[in-house]
Structure 1
Amino acid sequence: MLPLLIIAGIILFLSIILIGIYNQFVKNKNTVKDGWSNIDVALKRRYDLIPNLVETVKGYASHEKETLEAVIQARNAAMSVPSDDINAQIKAENQLQQTLRSIFALSEAYPDLKANTNFLQLQDKLNEIEENLERARRYYNGTVRENNTYGESFPAVIVAGMFNYQHFEYFEAEIESRENVKVSFT
């Protein structure tokens, strides 16, 4: 009888540990998704602003058709990524960020555009959205760090496969998007 109670106690103890690990996986995943939803709101605001920005630039830099089309294509590609595929969205957003930088590089070459009130207002609005996005990105990356650290730590790493542990990617600027955009009219 005593060995049976010991075995039952061990099973109960292990069950409590597994339940705790499972609950932590659920908590971490939901925290990451909450962090991503904050980013998603800022991205949707950016998506809504981009067509107005492109239309304003078109009037001043109509022969920069390739640049403007690249921005619209990047926007459409980012919008078409399934909302539940966070890692794919991050890649698409980095591409969109790179193409947006090319529009602002164009403004340096067109003084009339740079002085246009609508363009300046759109640029200010985009800067505000980017600041909100940066705050949301910091929060999201913090939640990703906690999730990934927990999923790779002992004892959770042992049972991660059983609980469909999801490793998330950080939302960081790609290396090439950190370089200055070069505009040449030769």
Structure 2
Amino acid sequence: MARCEEETGVRKEEEERAIQEEKGRAARQDDGKRARQDEVERDRHDVVLRTIQEEKERARHEEEKRTNQEVEERARYEVKDRTRQEEEELAIQEEEERTRQEVEERARYEVKERARQREEEWARHQVEERARLEEAGWTEQEEKAWDRREEREIDRQELEEMFIQEEDKWDRQEEEEWTRQEEEVNYE
């Protein structure tokens, strides 16, 4: 019986050890499961954080893209507007230049026309005067004086024409200088 009790005690100890080992194994399994669950939870948390970070990055990128597009669009608009304004200004300048040239051309024509009319009037007057003097029977001295007067008038008309040409030349040079200065200002 003592042996039986001893065996029972040993068995109980073995059972107790087996139970303790089983509990230890179960506890280790539970710890392993908890560790795996914690790791899964950490991984899930990392995925959520990464997803949030990616969403923030994507949103920031889209905002930058939208901002860049707005800036580019604004720049394109400003370039178009500036180009339109420059074209309008150029058109105004061209119209002013055309008008100025037309006025100058008209003035030159009027000066030439007046000079032509004076020449015709002078020629008519000369013909009439010569006819009158011939009828009156003028002398050689009067004829020479007449010829000198005609030569002086021709010289005067030639000088007047040279003066007009010189004025035209100065006007063209002044216009070229004005245009050059305007181009320099527009270039700057």
- TM-score tier after normalising by the smaller chain length: 0.3 to 0.5
Max Rg structure: 2
Higher helix share: 2
Question: With structure 1 as the length reference, what TM-score do the two structures score?
Answer: 0.40
Question: With structure 2 as the length reference, what TM-score do the two structures score?
Answer: 0.40
